C-alpha cells in the first residue's frame, strides 16, 4: 500500500487532504502540535497521528510527505524528508495533484471564500453533479470539510495566502472582493492586484465577480478569452442582481434579476448583504454548470451554512452565544453590524481576538469602525500569534491599545481566557445578553466550552 505522511494534519485543510488520500488508497500517518476534534476523527479512521513533530516519524517507506503552510522549513520532519529525498509537497501542491483530473472551481477573494465555496458545493450536490470538495470549514449539510465523488467538479477555496491559488489553476473562478491582507506576504496593493491578475490569467473557462473587482483589476472583458459573469446588489448592469433584500430572524430573502428579468424570490439561512452576494456568486457558478433556477432556489434554501460562520452555539432565555471566524477589519465590521441590527431586549457583547500581530499592526486604524458600533460591551483579547516571532509584551501592548480606541459602549482588555471567563460568568449573572465571539484563533474553542456551561 502507498504511504503518505502529513505534517500539521490537525488543520482544517490538511485533515481534508488526509481523508482524500485515504480514499485514493494511501496509508496515511501524520503529526501535529496539538490534539483536536479533527485529529480524533482521523484517528477513528485508523490514521496514526503523533502529537509533536519528530524526525522518527519519517521513513524511506513513505512516498509523499505533505506539509501545512504553517510549518517552517526548519521543522525536523521536513529536514528528514529532504534528507531521504522524499516527494515533499506543500498544501497547494497537494491540491493541484489531487485535482488534476477534475474541472476545478475555486472561490477566491479576501473575504467569503469558505461561505461561497460551501454554497457552490452544496448547490452542485443538490443538482446531482456529485462534486468533490476540500473547503476550509465544516459544512453543516455534510458534517465535513471534505467529500470525494465521481462527478467532474472539484470545489476548492482559492487561497491567496502565499499566492497558493496560483499553484492549482482553475477552470471556473470566483473573486468575491479584493482588499489588503497578509502583510507578511504582500508588500502593497500593487502586488495583491498583480497576483489576482495571474489568477485570472490562469482560468480556463469562466470568471464570476463584481464590477468593483473588474475596476480594481482593470479587466477588459471584451478582450478576455473566457466567459465573465457579473453579480451585484441593486446593480442593474450585473447579470445576476439582488434587489429587495429583507431579513427575518436568521434568514435573508431577496429577489433576483437575471439578465434584466426578475426570476423570483430566494432565501438563504444567513444574515448580511455580503452573504446575499456570496449566494449570487454561487448561483452564477451553478447556472454555468447547468443547474436550473428551481434547483438553485431549492439548494440555497436548504443550505445550512458553515461552522464558525455566525454559528449559534447556545440559545436560551438568558443568553445567545455566537461564534464567527471574522478577523480582518472588514469582516469583523460586517459581522458586528449584524449584531448591532438584531432587535432584542438582551444586552449585546462583542468579544474579539485579533489575529496575527503584523496584520493588527498594519491594519490598526481600520479597526476603528468596528469599535464605534452601538454595542453595549466590547472585549478585546490578547492578539493570537501566527507564524511570527513576537514577544508577549508586544502582543499585549498592541491589543490594549486597540481596546482604548473604543468610543461607544464599555470596553475591557484581557490577556488570559481565565480572566475573560470570570468577567463573562459575572456578566451572565447580572444580564441577559447576546455574546458574539470573533476571531480565527483559539477563541472559538473557548466560546464552545463556555457555551456548554450551564
Pairwise pLDDT comparison (203 vs 11), residue with the higher score: 203
115 is in an annotated binding site: yes
pLDDT at 98 over 70: yes
Instruction: Report whether 113 belongs to an annotated binding site.
Output: yes
Predicted confidence at residue 281, as pLDDT, reads 98
Average pLDDT over residues 266-282: 96
Rounded CA separation 115/119 (Å): 6
- pLDDT bucket at 260, cuts 50 / 70 / 90: very high
Is the full-model pTM beyond 0.95? no
* Cell numbers found for residue 405: 480606541
Mean pLDDT for the chain? 92
Region 60-74: what's the mean pLDDT? Answer: 89
114 is in an annotated binding site: yes
Mean pLDDT, range 350-364, rounded to an integer: 89
The mean pLDDT value for 242-266 works out to 95
For the chain, domains (ranges, CATH) are 3-89 (3.40.50.720), 99-302 (3.40.1190.10), 311-451 (3.90.190.20)
150-159, 212-221, 301-310, 333-342: segment of lowest average pLDDT: 333-342
Task: Using the predicted structure, report yes or no on whether residue 395 has a pLDDT greater than 90.
Answer: no
Instruction: Return the closest-CA partner of residue 287 out of 120, 45, 69.
Output: 120
Report whether 111 belongs to an annotated binding site.
yes
Whether the CA torsion 21, 24, 29, 34 is positive or negative: it is positive
> Exposed e or buried b for every residue in 30-59, given b needs 16+ CB within 10 A?
bbbeeeeebbeebeeeebebeeebeeebbe
Is 80 exceeded by the pLDDT of residue 69?
no
pLDDT tens digits for range 147-195: 989 999 999 999 898 899 999 889 999 999 999 988 888 999 999 999 9
Residue 197 annotated in ligand binding: no
Amino acid at each position: 500500500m502507498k504511504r503518505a505522511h502529513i505534517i500539521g494534519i490537525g488543520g482544517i485543510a490538511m485533515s481534508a487532504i488526509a481523508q482524500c488520500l485515504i480514499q485514493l488508497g494511501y496509508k496515511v500517518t501524520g503529526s501535529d502540535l496539538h490534539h483536536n476534534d479533527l485529529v480524533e476523527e482521523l484517528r477513528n479512521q485508523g490514521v496514526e497521528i503523533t502529537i509533536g513533530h519528530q524526525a522518527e516519524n519519517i521513513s524511506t517507506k513513505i512516498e509523499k510527505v505533505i506539509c501545512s503552510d504553517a510549518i517552517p522549513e526548519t521543522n525536523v520532519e521536513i529536514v528528514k524528508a529532504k534528507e531521504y529525498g522524499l516527494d515533499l509537497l506543500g498544501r497547494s501542491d497537494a491540491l493541484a495533484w489531487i485535482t488534476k483530473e477534475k474541472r476545478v472551481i475555486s472561490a477566491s477573494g479576501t473575504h467569503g471564500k469558505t461561505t461561497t465555496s460551501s454554497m457552490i458545493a452544496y448547490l452542485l450536490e443538490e443538482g446531482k453533479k456529485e462534486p468533490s470538495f476540500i473547503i476550509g470549514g465544516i459544512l453543516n449539510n455534510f458534517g465535513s470539510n471534505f467529500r470525494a465523488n465521481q462527478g467532474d467538479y472539484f470545489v476548492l477555496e482559492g487561497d491567496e495566502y502565499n499566492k497558493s491559488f496560483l499553484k492549482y489553476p482553475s477552470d471556473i473562478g470566483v473573486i468575491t472582493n479584493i482588499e489588503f491582507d497578509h502583510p507578511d506576504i504582500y508588500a502593497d496593493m500593487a502586488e495583491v492586484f498583480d497576483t489576482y491578475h495571474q489568477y485570472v490569467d490562469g482560468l480556463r473557462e469562466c470568471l464570476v465577480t463584481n464590477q468593483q473587482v473588474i475596476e480594481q483589476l482593470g479587466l477588459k472583458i471584451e478582450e478576455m478569452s473566457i466567459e465573465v459573469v457579473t453579480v451585484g446588489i441593486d446593480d442593474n448592469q450585473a447579470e445576476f442582481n439582488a434587489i429587495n433584500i429583507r431579513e427575518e430572524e436568521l434568514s435573508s430573502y431577496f429577489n433576483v434579476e437575471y439578465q434584466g428579468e426578475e426570476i423570483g424570490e430566494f432565501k438563504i439561512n444567513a444574515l448580511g448583504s455580503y452573504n446575499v452576494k456570496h449566494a449570487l456568486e454561487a448561483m452564477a457558478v451553478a447556472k454555468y454548470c447547468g443547474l436550473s433556477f428551481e434547483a438553485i432556489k431549492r439548494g440555497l434554501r436548504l443550505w445550512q451554512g458553515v461552522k464558525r460562520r455566525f454559528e449559534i452555539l447556545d440559545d436560551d432565555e438568558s443568553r445567545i452565544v455566537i461564534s464567527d471566524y471574522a478577523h480582518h477589519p472588514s469582516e469583523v465590521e460586517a459581522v458586528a453590524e449584524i449584531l448591532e441590527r438584531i432587535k432584542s431586549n438582551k444586552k449585546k457583547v462583542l468579544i474579539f481576538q485579533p489575529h496575527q500581530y503584523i496584520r493588527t499592526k498594519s491594519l490598526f486604524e481600520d479597526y476603528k469602525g468596528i469599535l464605534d458600533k452601538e454595542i453595549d460591551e466590547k472585549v478585546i483579547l490578547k492578539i493570537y500569534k501566527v507564524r511570527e516571532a513576537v514577544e508577549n509584551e508586544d502582543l499585549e501592548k498592541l491589543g490594549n491599545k486597540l481596546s482604548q480606541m473604543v468610543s461607544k459602549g464599555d470596553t475591557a482588555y484581557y490577556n488570559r481566557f481565565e480572566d475573560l471567563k470570570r468577567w463573562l460568568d459575572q456578566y451572565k449573572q447580572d444580564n441577559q445578553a447576546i455574546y458574539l465571539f470573533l476571531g480565527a484563533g483559539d477563541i472559538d474553542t473557548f466560546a464552545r466550552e463556555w457555551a456548554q456551561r450551564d
